[in-house]
Amino acid sequence: MSASLLLVQLLSGLAHAMVLFLIASGLSLIFGVTRIVNFAHGSFYMLAAYLTYSLAARLSLGGASFYAAGLAAALLVGLLGLVVEVGLLRRVYGAPELYQLLLTFALVLVIADLVRWAWGTENLTGPVAPGLTGAVPIAGQLFPTYDLALIALGPLVALGLWALFYRTRYGILIRAATLDREMVAVLGVNEAALFTSVFVLGSVLAGLAGALQVPRQALTTVMDTAIITEAFVVVVVGGMGSVFGALLSAILIGVIDAFGVLVLPRASLVLIFVVMAVVLIVRPWGLLGRPGGPDAAGAGTTLAADGGRVPRGLVAALVAALVVIPPLLPPFALWLLVEVLAFALFAASLHLLMGAGGMVSFGHAAAFGLGAYGAALLMLQAGWPMPLAFAGAPLVAAACSVVIGFFCVRLSSIYFAMLTLAFTQIAYAIVHQWYDLTGGDNGLLGVWPPPWLAPPLRYYYLALLACGGGVALLALIERAPFGLTLRAAVYLKGSVFPESLTVGVSIQPLVMVLLGGVETLAGAPVGAAVYKLLDTVVTRYTEYWQAVLGGILILLVVAFPRGIVGSLRSARR
């Protein structure tokens, strides 16, 4: 491998690092001051990219059209951030902080379908940046001029942020709020205005990052999920709330990613998450973060259950209905109920981590997916009959969870959540690339129950027994079973794919638990039932089901800021 190729690859990594820094600095800034883990940050990035694409084609400013469009797109996204913070987030600041995360997740769904409706689902190629087209020779290799400009722009933005933070009163307030926002409020600072301005500034930075990506890559409707994962890695490695930690981390992650494609192409998906896991284990607060900093009041805040119980009569009536009514239902309704039961158990297992254990996991899909793959591999590779494989699958997930838990339980707050995410992404990369064993992205097919269990009604009663037994067990114990989760879903679908271990699968049970309410275990099944029923019903009637589902979730969060069950119990009291 020539030195010139290594130099060009280094420069490519630095160019990507500057875009990562822009979006991660905004994300870090928002979390540092408001303690909001903003999942919609990637959506703002994507929306700005599409707005830049359209505005550049409509503005009649000659060569300046692209630059004016990019600036306008960033400001429009900042305006959207203003509307979101004032109109939505401000209404739930009094609720447990994780409900703000649920609200931003709902915004992800809404903005994703808004982009699909406005620009379609086909990939779009954006305009070039006038004056920065072509390439320049560097050590005998051609390198894009635009990427060189990005490498120069990143430090300039960092310098501007430094001047803002250290040379203005507003910057001093931001730094003070990052360290101790309660003290800032006591000193008489208008906390609401500070929160709003910081959220807008962070949104503008995300929008600027999206605008700058337009000449570099095709615009896709999934670019939000790709960038937000990397941005979280950068923020956590650099230190939550540290903008300059984000710069250092972005350079590290960008360069590692660039060289990983060359040196370890089969492991390129996992490298940045290995880096994040190592940093969190060795230095839990990040490279430039501070012990006891913003994470002390972050997304890992314990949402303690109050020990409330659902009346036994109501539980008995529900169980009776689940036993008696299904024989009267069509097959589609039975399969829907099986999926509801599956995710009810999945959400209930996460509830025990959050409610009793005080641990918020962003990587619960590891247990879910590894349990599913365990069930499939025990059947297909080991030749076990389905009932035995069904019973043995938790052992596969438990063995991996022992390793994951050994490292994760040493951390707390947002760092625990992000380390679980890192391990889940590592598991996903292994499953995705180990074709000989897992089939890679082709998945494992032909994983069906035996004929005596194949009829929908019989399989439903198996799922009901598994879910009921699991929830009852969870209700009896107080320790968190990190590996306890669903393994019936693999037989419902007849197949298993690496998507079972993605971030989206981890977020779903978190949404369900928060939607139902963390105060009691009953909230998890209720939240799972409401989410899956809404998901299924809305999907059948509209192409833009994500927007409708996200809108409903927003209304539910605003109307029930402690979850459905928690709010109803509070109203009854």
412-459 pLDDT per residue, tens: 777 788 788 888 888 888 888 788 888 888 888 888 888 888 888 998
Domain co-membership, 83 together with 216? yes
Residue 263 pLDDT level (bands cut at 50, 70, 90)? confident
Q: Which of 266, 295, 320 is the last residue of a domain?
A: 266
Cα–Cα distance measured from residue 421 to residue 287, given in angstroms and rounded to the nearest whole number: 18
Angle between helices 41-58 and 65-87 (to 10 degrees): 140
pLDDT of residue 40: 92
28 SS3 class: helix
Residue 61 belongs to some domain of the structure? yes
Most confident residue range from 43-52, 302-311, 527-536: 43-52
pLDDT of residue 150: 92
pLDDT in tens, 248-259: 999 999 988 888
Domain co-membership, 212 together with 361? no
Instruction: Read off the amino acid at residue 185.
Output: A
**Percent of the chain having pLDDT more than 90?**
21
44-64 mean pLDDT: 92
Domain enclosing residue 382, as ranges: 312-572
Least confident of 151-165, 297-311, 393-407, 414-428: 297-311
Backbone CA torsion sign across 318, 322, 323, 324: positive
C-alpha closest to that of 489 among 303, 362, 347 = 347
The most distant pair of C-alpha atoms in the chain lies apart, rounded to whole Å, by 79
Q: What do you get for the CA distance between the two ends of the chain, in Å? A: 71
Residue 53 pLDDT level (bands cut at 50, 70, 90)? very high
pLDDT of residue 485: 43
pLDDT of residue 425: 81
Domain co-membership, 369 together with 223? no
- Structurally, the chain folds into a number of domains equal to 2
DSSP codes, 197-261 = HHHHHHHHHHHHHHHHHTTTS-B-TTHHHHHHHHHHHHHHHH-TT-HHHHHHHHHHHHHHHHHHH
Cα–Cα distance measured from residue 550 to residue 556, given in angstroms and rounded to the nearest whole number: 10
Domain co-membership, 240 together with 323? no
pLDDT of residue 484: 42
Between strands 135-138 and 141-144, the pairing is antiparallel
Question: Which residues are bridge partners to 495 per DSSP?
Answer: 445
Quick one: the chain helix, strand, coil %, rounded to 5? 75, 0, 25
- Is it the case that residue 537 has pLDDT exceeding 70? yes
pLDDT of residue 48: 96
Least confident of 51-65, 110-124, 146-160, 302-316: 302-316
Instruction: Read off the amino acid at residue 99.
Output: Y
Domain co-membership, 136 together with 256? yes
Domain co-membership, 405 together with 459? yes
Question: Are the beta carbons of 102 and 36 closer than 8 angstroms?
Answer: no
- Is it the case that residue 115 has pLDDT exceeding 90? yes
Least confident of 97-101, 306-310, 358-362, 405-409: 306-310
pLDDT of residue 487: 42
30 CB contacts (<8 Å, ≥6 apart)? 36, 38, 41, 198, 199, 202
- Is it the case that residue 135 has pLDDT exceeding 70? yes
Residue 242 belongs to some domain of the structure? yes
Q: Which of 207, 237, 266 is the last residue of a domain?
A: 266
Domain co-membership, 252 together with 320? no
Domain co-membership, 257 together with 316? no
263-296 as b/e: b if 16+ CB within 10 A = eeeeebbbbbbbbbbebbeeebbbbbbbeebbbe
306-316 as b/e: b if 16+ CB within 10 A = eeeebeeeeee
Domain co-membership, 8 together with 115? yes
Residue 289 belongs to some domain of the structure? no
Cα–Cα distance measured from residue 116 to residue 296, given in angstroms and rounded to the nearest whole number: 38
Cα–Cα distance measured from residue 371 to residue 493, given in angstroms and rounded to the nearest whole number: 14
Domain co-membership, 382 together with 516? yes
For residue 522, give the DSSP letter.
T
- Is it the case that residue 483 has pLDDT exceeding 50? no
Residue 139 belongs to some domain of the structure? yes
Cα–Cα distance measured from residue 464 to residue 472, given in angstroms and rounded to the nearest whole number: 12
Residue 55 belongs to some domain of the structure? yes
538 CB contacts (<8 Å, ≥6 apart)? 545, 548, 549, 552
CATH number for the domain that contains residue 102: 1.10.3470
Least confident of 106-110, 211-215, 485-489: 485-489
Domain co-membership, 123 together with 9? yes
Q: Which of 266, 294, 325 is the last residue of a domain?
A: 266
7-27 mean pLDDT: 91
Residue 297 belongs to some domain of the structure? no
Residue 302 belongs to some domain of the structure? no
The runs of H, that is alpha helices, within 311-412 are: 312-324, 331-351, 365-380, 386-408
pLDDT of residue 475: 75
519-546 mean pLDDT: 82
Its pTM stands at 0.82
pLDDT of residue 297: 43
Question: Are the beta carbons of 366 and 501 closer than 8 angstroms?
Answer: yes
Domain co-membership, 262 together with 346? no
Residue 296 belongs to some domain of the structure? no
570 vs 565: which has the higher pLDDT: 565
- Is it the case that residue 329 has pLDDT exceeding 80? yes
Question: Are the beta carbons of 68 and 59 closer than 8 angstroms?
Answer: yes
pLDDT of residue 355: 67
